[in-house]
Amino acid sequence: MSVQVRNLTHIYAEGLPWQSVALDSVSFDVNDGEFVGIIGPTGSGKTTLARHLNGLLKPTGGSVVVGGIDIAKEKTAARDVRRKVGLVFQYPESQLFEETVYKDVAFGPANLGLSKEEIDERVREALERVGLAYEEVARRSPFDLSGGQKRRVAIAGVVAMKPELLILDEPTAGLDPKSQKEILNMLRGLHESHGRKGGGTILISHNMSDIARFSDKVLVMNRGKLILSGTPREVFRQEELLVSIGLAPVPAAAFMRRLCLAGFPARTDVLTVAEAVDEIVAALGKPAGGAE
């Protein structure tokens, strides 16, 4: 599903002495089947931007067109937008509230007025898509699950709505490294399935390696402005600019740059450890070892 954002501006407390410009003339597109990463320092406007894409916020100026629906128009029903766009907030497990996993995941579909059979099918499918066995967790309390499992249940509740665009705001925040890896692998699987049908995914993250690995396009926000966009390789080669606004470079690229400064002849625009290993092996004149 395509998204067109044009000159999007949002001012909190507009007209009051403490008004704050959260978004300032932001423009970009999300194409069918695209995975878009959004990065930027804290307070740069990333979450405010995400909330415009599913109609939680209305623009102060500019336009947001999602799947042909202009969110800025007064007659646009928020419910129509939210059927198309699913937003997973930071720490989504804090919003779990039902007595069983089944009821939590079924809450959204039930509000769409679906039949019991359709709701059952959606709950089962959503749990399986986030890597949870329906028979093992459906009747359990979500509060008895591990942190990573709770996160998956919360994401399943959004997936069960079958959105055409899935937005995830720091989906691995607060998780241990093992759970972070599991969630990211799950998200990659979700997008591969979702993207084949023209659905899009937007990932907001402070982890540059994750953004570099998964994204087709990267948007860089700073102080409410979109200051850079392009492919991961195009964006992350602008290391000086990224560091100047408080973002860390991609670790693999930073390592390769240090090697080059020490006189080692190798490309520095790598994005992953695997690419860095292959580049080093190639520079040494040996066949690549197929590192992962």
Flag whether 201 is in a domain: yes
pLDDT at 287: 54
Flag whether 195 is in a domain: yes
- 211-241 pLDDT, tens digit per residue, is 999 999 999 999 999 999 999 999 999 999 9
Q: Which domain holds residue 113?
A: 33-53+74-229
- 97-155 pLDDT, tens digit per residue, is 999 999 999 999 998 889 999 999 999 999 999 999 999 999 999 999 999 999 999 99
Flag whether 260 is in a domain: no
Flag whether 132 is in a domain: yes
Flag whether 133 is in a domain: yes
Residue 77: pLDDT band by 50, 70, 90 thresholds? low
Q: What is the DSSP string of 240-252?
A: HHHHHTTPPPPHH
> Which whole number is the average pLDDT over 152-177?
94
Asked whether the predicted pLDDT for residue 79 surpasses 90, the reply is no
CATH code (residue 172): 3.40.50.300
Asked whether the predicted pLDDT for residue 289 surpasses 60, the reply is no
Ramachandran quadrant class, 43 (left: phi over 0; alpha: psi -120 to 50; beta: rest) = left
Flag whether 292 is in a domain: no
pLDDT at 290: 47
Q: Is the pTM of this model over 0.85?
A: yes
- 3-29 pLDDT, tens digit per residue, is 999 999 999 999 999 999 999 999 999
231: tokens are 């492919």
Flag whether 264 is in a domain: no
Question: Which residue shows structure tokens 């996160």?
Answer: 151
Flag whether 191 is in a domain: yes
Number of domains, the chain: 1
pLDDT at 115: 95
pLDDT at 286: 58
For residue 5, give every residue at least 6 positions away whose Cβ sits within 8 Å of its Cβ, in sequence order, or none: 26, 27, 28, 29, 52, 53, 62, 63, 64, 65
* C-alpha–C-alpha distance, residues 143 and 97, integer Å: 9
pLDDT at 27: 98
Asked whether the predicted pLDDT for residue 291 surpasses 50, the reply is no
In single-letter form, the type of residue at position 137 comes to V
Average pLDDT, the chain: 91
Question: Which residue shows structure tokens 């995941």?
Answer: 105
User: String of b and e for 137-161 (b: at least 16 CB within 10 Å)?
Assistant: bbeeebeebeebbbbbbbbbbbbbb
- 169-197 pLDDT, tens digit per residue, is 999 999 988 889 899 999 999 898 877 67
pLDDT at 214: 93
